[in-house]
Amino acid sequence: MTTNNDIYNNLKPYLKIKELQIPLEQVTDIYFPDFLSNALDNYVAYYNKELLQQIDYEIAFNTDDNSIVFSKIVNLSNSIKETIDLFYNGNIFEATDNFNKSLDSIFFNEIQTLSTIKEDTNFYRARKNENKHFTKSDLFHIRFEQRHTVSTNRYSVPGFPALYLGDSTYVCWEEFDRYRLRDLWYSRIVNVRELKVIKIQRTEDFINETDLIVQVYQLPHLLRYLILFPLTIACSIKVKYTNGNFKPEYIIPQLLLQYISKNKTIDGLMFPSTKVDYSKLFDVLAYNYVFPVKSISKKGYCKFLIDTFHVSEPTSLELEEIIYNPSIPNLMISKSPDKKHIELINMVRSQYVTTSFGRIEQSLRRRKVEKI
């Protein structure tokens, strides 16, 4: 008899293909809705050809639908395409409603679509220097009375504050387009309770993560990933015209952020950076997180997020070099072995912990985090 663990191990090789790699890049002048539609159709066709028989017909789901996973994938894929078409035709309300209904439909009992982030996980947040000494509250989300400064971005709706975090100080730096490192301030931010998030993951990272969890959960973990993959595709397309006022690559990510902000059971979203060259990273994760405000006020910060995250006093590379004399660097470097490496210069691989990013993170981990 084939066990769920057997099915999981048999399926893994089918995920290690070029067609499932993200982020996607538009290398031709194809119309964006057509580009996205082609990418979604390719995934649906691949699942139908290679995975349908092994999953939908092999696993005993408690449902009359003998292709339950495939149906979810097709419905989500079609809904994303319809959403884009509605948006392009100026029907913003209808696009939003269509997208929200499609997400509601993929949450069903047999497969838990949300992922859990454990309490006391380390996140990092950066801010550009403004010639003043920042406090920990300066590194939280934009205050409500300053919402006019919230601009559009992949997961940023103009005027709507959210807390944006990174796995590492390195990915924060990349998100600032490699801004002068000495002119960035960093804080460590820690969640004081478990978080429920939608995860958008690169296939390689997903497999590595899933191999480490308890075997009984591996197959459900994989099914969740496959069901959500149309959303992963739609949210992981590199911007083609970086100076454009309208970026169609942001349509689905921004609608997803709005959906999360209104859903009490979802805290936020984890997603891979589209600005990172992953071939230069070795055991270094490069994920971002967005946690939208859940309670609105005229001034100050979201009470829900204040109660969820504690923040360290910020620091900068320049400040750390003043505190810790660079001529004695070992004061700041951990002696423990670390598999994490990064290639910031071609063919020159550095141990992550010895880079400026590793040093800042070690310093921040020594600092207390508190409620703002």
Do 84 and 136 belong to one domain? no
Do 100 and 191 belong to one domain? no
Please check the confidence at residue 31 and state whether its pLDDT lies above 90: yes
Do 92 and 166 belong to one domain? no
pLDDT at 356: 93
Please check the confidence at residue 354 and state whether its pLDDT lies above 60: yes
Number of structural domains (the chain) is 2
pLDDT at 322: 82
Do 157 and 278 belong to one domain? yes
Sign of CA dihedral 262, 23, 158, 194: positive
Do 103 and 128 belong to one domain? no
Do 89 and 116 belong to one domain? no
The mean per-residue pLDDT over the stretch 3-21 comes to 91
Mean pLDDT (the chain, rounded): 92
pLDDT at 200: 95
Do 331 and 363 belong to one domain? yes
For residue 177, the SS3 value is coil
For residue 180, the SS3 value is coil
Would 222 be classed as within a structural domain? no
Would 230 be classed as within a structural domain? no
CB 54 within 8 A of CB 11: yes
Chosen domain end from 94, 110, 126: 110
Do 130 and 163 belong to one domain? yes
pLDDT at 64: 74
The mean per-residue pLDDT over the stretch 12-35 comes to 93
Would 223 be classed as within a structural domain? no
Domain of residue 354, residue span = 111-200+236-372
Which residues 6+ apart lie within 8 Å of 358 measured at CB?
333, 334, 340, 351, 352
C-alpha of 238 from chain center: 14
* Nearest in space to 259 (alpha carbons), one of 306, 304, 198, 177: 198
pLDDT confidence of 109, banded at 50, 70, 90?
A: very low
Alpha-carbon gap, residue 309 to 293, rounded angstroms: 12
For residue 283, the SS3 value is coil
pLDDT at 179: 95
Would 244 be classed as within a structural domain? yes
pLDDT tens for each residue of 46-98: 999 999 999 999 888 877 777 889 999 999 999 999 999 999 999 999 999 99
Do 155 and 80 belong to one domain? no
Do 94 and 142 belong to one domain? no
In the sheet that 341-345 helps form, which strands lie side by side, from edge to edge?
281-282, 341-345, 348-351
Do 144 and 98 belong to one domain? no
Tokens (6 digits) for 223 = 């099914």
Helix orientation angle between 92-106 and 215-235, rounded to the nearest 10 degrees: 170
Alpha-carbon gap, residue 321 to 65, rounded angstroms: 62
Would 214 be classed as within a structural domain? no
Q: How do strand 281-282 and strand 315-316 relate by DSSP bridges?
A: unpaired
Share of the chain above pLDDT 70, in %: 95
The mean per-residue pLDDT over the stretch 123-142 comes to 95
pLDDT confidence of 153, banded at 50, 70, 90?
A: very high
323 vs 72, higher pLDDT: 72
Would 210 be classed as within a structural domain? no
The mean per-residue pLDDT over the stretch 25-43 comes to 96
Do 68 and 181 belong to one domain? no
Would 229 be classed as within a structural domain? no
Chosen domain end from 78, 110, 142: 110
Burial state string for 340-369 with b = 16 or more CB within 10 A and e = fewer than 16: bbbeeeeeeeebbbbbbbbbbbebbeeeeb
Would 209 be classed as within a structural domain? no
Chosen domain end from 110, 140, 162: 110
Alpha-carbon gap, residue 42 to 325, rounded angstroms: 55
Q: How many CB atoms are located within 10 Å of the residue 116 CB?
A: 12
